[in-house]
Amino acid sequence: MNAIELLEQQHREVEKLFDKIEKAESEEKQELFDEIADALAVHAAIEEQHFYPATKDARTEELLHEAVEEHLAVKRIIADLLEMEVDDPQFDAKIKVLKEQVEHHVEEEEKQLFPKVKKVHSKDELEDLGILMERTARELKEQGAPRMQVPSETGAAAPLD
């Protein structure tokens, strides 16, 4: 799959999970949070390892620096949530802040970054990049619970190369 299609598909999946968790009761909430955290961990990893370095140039660099800072903010919220019980009075509020941060990040990628990337990179390049990203995503899921990597990534934003 084309790299941008893959990322957009992941964005839609995570939006659905946020809609579900807002309506969920506590047991289901834990499962849904684990799913959201796994999905965001995989998404951030394939962007940071493949998509951002491969698409970095003078036109995208500023947006990419901002993107990895946004990932960092998202990872810090996920790390907090991993330590919380779902019935903690702050849990729902933190989920809401996570959702807002993710929505903002998704909008910037889809409205600003992806259109620039599409202009510079050919369909074939994006197809090859997508294959690489799908492979890494699969590997991370096979290792199990990709969210558990997140707390070790909260020190600083990921490097862009």
**Where along the sequence are the contacts to Fe ion (CB under 5 A)?**
47
Report, in Å, the least distance between residue 67 CB and Fe ion: 6
The residue (of 45 and 95) whose beta carbon lies closer to Fe ion is 45
The residue (of 32 and 44) whose beta carbon lies closer to Fe ion is 44
How far apart, in whole angstroms, are the C-alpha atoms of residue 10 and residue 16?
Answer: 10
Report, in Å, the least distance between residue 87 CB and Fe ion: 30
| Residue 122 φ/ψ region, left for φ over 0, alpha for ψ in the -120 to 50 degree band, beta for the rest | beta
Report, in Å, the least distance between residue 144 CB and Fe ion: 22
CA dist 84 → 6, 21, 32, 38 (Å):
31, 15, 14, 16
Report, in Å, the least distance between residue 53 CB and Fe ion: 13
Which residue has the closest beta carbon to Fe ion? Answer: 47
The residue (of 24 and 157) whose beta carbon lies closer to Fe ion is 157
Q: Which two tokens stand for residue 58?
A: 């003078």
The residue (of 7 and 86) whose beta carbon lies closer to Fe ion is 7
How far apart, in whole angstroms, are the C-alpha atoms of residue 22 and residue 26?
Answer: 11
Report, in Å, the least distance between residue 71 CB and Fe ion: 6
Cβ-contact 74, 98 below 8 angstroms: yes
Task: Tell me the residue length of the chain.
Answer: 161
One-letter amino acid for residue 103 of the chain: E
The residue (of 69 and 92) whose beta carbon lies closer to Fe ion is 69
How far apart, in whole angstroms, are the C-alpha atoms of residue 147 and residue 136?
Answer: 15
